[in-house]
Structures are given as structure tokens and as C-alpha cells.
């Protein structure tokens, strides 16, 4: 029974950190290429940047940008052109605006 509880805790804690991201300097270091769109309706994901690591969500658009690569769950590279991107995002001003607009791309952040 102890082992099941420990395994459950490890699985849950890994999900809770799913939105800790790191912005890489080079595209070949990244798992996902991201483009920031000008308008909300062009985005696959609306992102809210949280101030603290413990505020990240479970793939719901609340991102914490890690200082170090090894602390992040996903490594991102911000591209210059929309056609180079795997994921298009729009930064929102309020936490309750964050979320997916295109559920087909949701797998990218798991």
C-alpha cells in the first residue's frame, strides 16, 4: 500500500510541474517551437505568466519561466515566423483568461 501511495504522489507531482518552461537560446535545444501572435483569436493557447513556481497549472496555460533548463518540464524556442512554430500563443493580462483555444495541440505541453 505504501508503494502505491508513493507512486501516486510522484505521478501527481510530475503533472503539477507540467507548465514550468525554459526558453532556450537555440532552436535545436528546444522541444517545442513557439510563436507569439498579435491577436488572441490567432492563438492555440492563451498564456498567463505566473510569478511563482507553485502557481503553475496542469496544462492550462499558466506558465512559470525557469531560470535554469534542468528545472523546467518543457524547453521552448521562440521563433520569428508563424510558419516555423509548433504552437502559437498569446500572452494574456489576467490569470482567468489563460487556457486552450485549440485542443488538438494540447499534447505538446504534456
pLDDT computed for residue 54 by the predictor: 87
CA distance 75 to 32: 7
As given in the structure block, the three cell numbers for residue 102 are 485549440
pLDDT computed for residue 56 by the predictor: 87
pLDDT computed for residue 16 by the predictor: 43
Question: CA end-to-end span of the chain, whole Å?
Answer: 28
**pTM metric for this prediction:** 0.78
The pLDDT profile of the chain, 110 residues, written as one tens digit per residue, is: 444 434 344 444 444 444 899 999 999 999 999 999 999 999 999 999 999 998 887 889 999 999 999 999 999 999 999 999 999 999 999 999 999 999 999 999 88
Domain residues of the chain, as ranges? Answer: 2-109
Amino acid at each position: 500500500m505504501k508503494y502505491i501511495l508513493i507512486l501516486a504522489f510522484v505521478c501527481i507531482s510530475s503533472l503539477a510541474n507540467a507548465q514550468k518552461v525554459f526558453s532556450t537560446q537555440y532552436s535545436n535545444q528546444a522541444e517545442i517551437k513557439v510563436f507569439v501572435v498579435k491577436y488572441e483569436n490567432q492563438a492555440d493557447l492563451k498564456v498567463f505568466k505566473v510569478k511563482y513556481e507553485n502557481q503553475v497549472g496542469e496544462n492550462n496555460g499558466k506558465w512559470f519561466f525557469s531560470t535554469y533548463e534542468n528545472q523546467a518540464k518543457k524547453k521552448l524556442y521562440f521563433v520569428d515566423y508563424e510558419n516555423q512554430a509548433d504552437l502559437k500563443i498569446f500572452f494574456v493580462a489576467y490569470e482567468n483568461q489563460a487556457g486552450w483555444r485549440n485542443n488538438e495541440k494540447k499534447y505538446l505541453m504534456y
